[in-house]
Copies of this chain bind each other. A is one copy, B any other.
């Protein structure tokens, strides 16, 4: 197995493994937005949003476009939908699993 390839892949995933960046990406799924739009939507510090935008951009996940004072950001890749689709399935299955664990422990308690 080619470890370098997996390192590359994991660094891409790492970029998405951050709540602020996930919120940004989710926000951009609705279309192109300026930095201040995003700041308002996700209610975070401007400097934080800006920093995380540049991290996402460096990983090639989003792109930008300057118009006067504003910078418009948008998703580069539409397949992000499938990415999140799988995550949502995993999360809901995981919740069911944890629910089962709770139920089973209740059974053995009594």
Contacts and interface: CB of A to CB of B under 8 A. Distances in A.
Interface of A: 1, 3, 6-14, 16-23, 26-27, 41-43, 59-61, 76-77, 79-83, 85-87, 89-91, 93-94, 97-98
Main secondary structure of the interface of A (DSSP, over half): helix
Contact of A93 (B9, B19, B60): B60
A87 B43 contact: no
Give the number of times this chain occurs in the complex, counting copies: 2
A21 B19 CA distance: 21
A26 B6 CA distance: 10
A59 to B, nearest CB: 7
Contacts of A43: 1
A22 B2 CA distance: 11
B79 A9 contact: no
